[in-house]
Amino acid sequence: SRRCPPCPRSRLRAFESWMREHGVVCSDALRLDASEAGGVYVRALAALREGDVVATIPRRACLTPRTSGAAAAIKDAQLGGTLALAVAVMYERARGADSPWHDYLRLIPDCEPVPLVWPEDEAARLLAGTELEQTVKQDREFLCEDWKECIEPLISSGELGVKPDDLSLEKYFAAKSLLSSRSFRIDKYHGSGMVPLADLFNHKTDGEHVHFTKSDASDSDEEDGDDQSNASADEQSTVENSTANPSGSNDEDLEMIIVREANPGDEVYNTYGTMGNAALLHRYGFTELDNPYDIVNIDLTLVTKWCSSKYSHRYAKARVSLWHMLGYSGCTSEDAEYFEISYDGEPQLELLILLYIIFLEPEVYDKLVCVSEDLVGDDDQDDEQDTIDSFAKVVKVTRPAKNGVEKLPDVKKLLQSEGIGSALASIADIRESLYGSSTLKDDEEKLRACSPVGERSIYHSLVLRVSERKILGRLRKHASSWPKTKKRKHT
């Protein structure tokens, strides 16, 4: 789980005094402790029962673009979102002991060990082939653009009265790493902010003890449209029901409520959501062994590459075009289309349908092209059953019933042919080649010999690589279990 740098008890005591001074109330049933590995965690001193309120945090105690001493400069520069919060954090850090949040900021690390702040060449080497390789490259590019366009002018203006180095690109990356790991959506007025105490609870997948909510549940659940959560998680880490009054800030305290019982001595966990290791490493700087939410993505371009090598580029383009024409698509991001392979090696249904279309005989393909417009329904394919129903129409064209009386075969079985299974194995091989020359066995041996504390970036990148490669192995095993075509005996 996420850890801070070594934290002397004196800093913890200073933070506990800070909480009392700023109206942050932490139950006597909780204790903040320094771990042996370095950092802070929360444990139960007494039995915690569902519904117990174990902390209240005034909104004014949160570090946000509204509460920061940089509020006027942020407003003048017309900064918003997490960019504004990053400036607020950098500014308050630069103020040192003069900042109202000094004892809080001293407790948390300067940055979180997410790939964004790893040396660029190290990140490229360790993440090669993984789901994060391109994501981290894009992060760096976008943040460099943001810094040049928005923060450099702020430095030049001198309005904040801090040293240029306090707002450097390196400090900006560091601040962004904190926001991705620690900030929470507070309300429409404040936006996202740093919530002291709330961010000290470590994550455990499916092991949440505490949840954050607003004390006055009568407020509406209206949100601001985007960034509704812990700056990097899903709705499970949001501050619920936290809309602001139209006239300004909502002064209701944030509450931390027990949602699962904990016994004395237990560490008390939050959850950042149900995330695979790629998301956990990207946003929080750690991974979990045997994470059931891990997936592997296979880009449509990789499938097209395989098809082009087996047939031709023109052939691949035509088959993918028909697949799209019939209303199918993979998952999409800003500039890519891809297919998900689940933790157990199950391929996305749309990928199987694409492979089915790729293997159609030319005359059957031509027939399907002629009737494709008639097969496209008005409704979106919202779930697997919708996709299967849609594919059943394709099957009726590609495998017409003899004499009009043959029953429609189980359409899912048609997607589990020997040919499609062989294609999946080949595609898995191409996807795995992106990891480089080392084998899965090599990576597993390196992981066993690696220290999660002393070699943190290597350890967590290996956990990610090993998990993804095991999923590809399960995909191959899954596909190889499909029935083989029986060969006819010659007499």
- Calpha distance 329→324 (Å, rounded): 6
Whether residue 193 has pLDDT greater than 50:
yes
Instruction: Estimate to the nearest angstrom the gap between the alpha carbon of 219 and the chain centroid.
Output: 29
Helix (H, G, I), strand (E, B) or coil at 239: coil
Q: In this structure, which amino acid lies at residue 37? A: A
Q: Which residues are 332's β-sheet partners?
A: 337
* Intra-chain end-to-end CA distance of the chain, in Å: 66
What string of DSSP letters covers 200-236? GSPB-TT---EEEEES-TTS-----SS--SSTTS-GG
Between strands 25-26 and 53-57, the pairing is antiparallel
Query: What's the mean pLDDT in 353-378?
Result: 90
Q: Which of 100-114, 288-302, 362-376 has the lowest mean pLDDT?
A: 362-376
So what's the pLDDT on residue 486?
56
CATH topology of domain 296-481: set domain protein methyltransferase, domain 2 (3.90.1420)
Question: Residues with Cβ < 8 Å from 190, sequence gap 6 or more?
Answer: 59, 62, 64, 65, 66, 67, 244, 249
When comparing pLDDT for 227 and 490, which is higher? Answer: 490
Place of tokens 């929080």: 284
pTM of the model: 0.84
Q: Check residue 252 and give its pLDDT.
A: 83
What is the average pLDDT value for the chain, to the nearest integer? 86
For residue 199, which of 189, 188, 184 has the smallest C-alpha distance? 184
The least confident of 64-68, 246-250, 454-458 is: 246-250
Residue range 285-324, pLDDT digits in tens = 999 999 999 999 999 999 999 999 999 999 999 999 999 9
Q: Tell me the average pLDDT across 51-80.
A: 94
Query: At how many degrees (to 10) do helices 384-398 and 349-358 cross?
Result: 10
Mean predicted confidence (pLDDT) in 41-50: 95
Pick 234 or 490 by higher pLDDT.
490
Is residue 239 exposed (0-12), middle (13-18) or buried (19+ Cβ within 10 Å)? buried
DSSP character for 165? G
Whether the domain at 8-215+251-275 and the domain at 296-481 fall into the same CATH topology = no
The pLDDT tens digits for 257-276 are: 999 999 999 999 998 788 99
CB atoms near residue 165 (< 10 Å): 10
| pLDDT the model gives residue 380 | 60
Helical (H) or strand (E) element with 58: none
Q: Higher pLDDT residue, 34 or 447?
A: 447
Residues 337-353, mean pLDDT to the nearest whole number: 96
Question: Residue 71: is its pLDDT beyond 60?
Answer: yes
Note the pLDDT tens digit of each residue in 3-14.
Answer: 555 557 888 999
Mean pLDDT, to the nearest integer, of 470-486?
A: 88
Tokens of 171: 């400090």
Nearest Cα neighbor of 68 from 109, 108, 24, 104 is: 104
pLDDT at 353 over 60: yes
Task: Please determine, for residue 35, whether its predicted confidence score (pLDDT) is greater than 90.
Answer: no
Element (H, E) at 258: strand 254-258
- Min mean pLDDT across 43-52, 66-75, 167-176, 199-208 is at 199-208
Which carries the bigger pLDDT value, residue 235 or residue 321?
321
Outline where DSSP puts E strands in 45-139.
53-57
Whether residue 143 is predicted with pLDDT greater than 70 in this model: the reply is yes
Q: Average pLDDT for residues 331-348, to the nearest whole number?
A: 93
Determine the CATH number of domain 8-215+251-275. Answer: 3.90.1410.10
Q: Which amino acid is at 79?
A: L
pLDDT exceeds 50 at position 76? yes
Q: Which two tokens stand for residue 209?
A: 């003890």
The pLDDT value recorded for residue 1 is 54
User: Domain limits of the chain?
Assistant: 8-215+251-275, 296-481
For 407-434, how does the pLDDT look when each residue is reduced to its tens digit (9 = 90+)?
Answer: 555 777 889 999 999 999 999 999 999 9
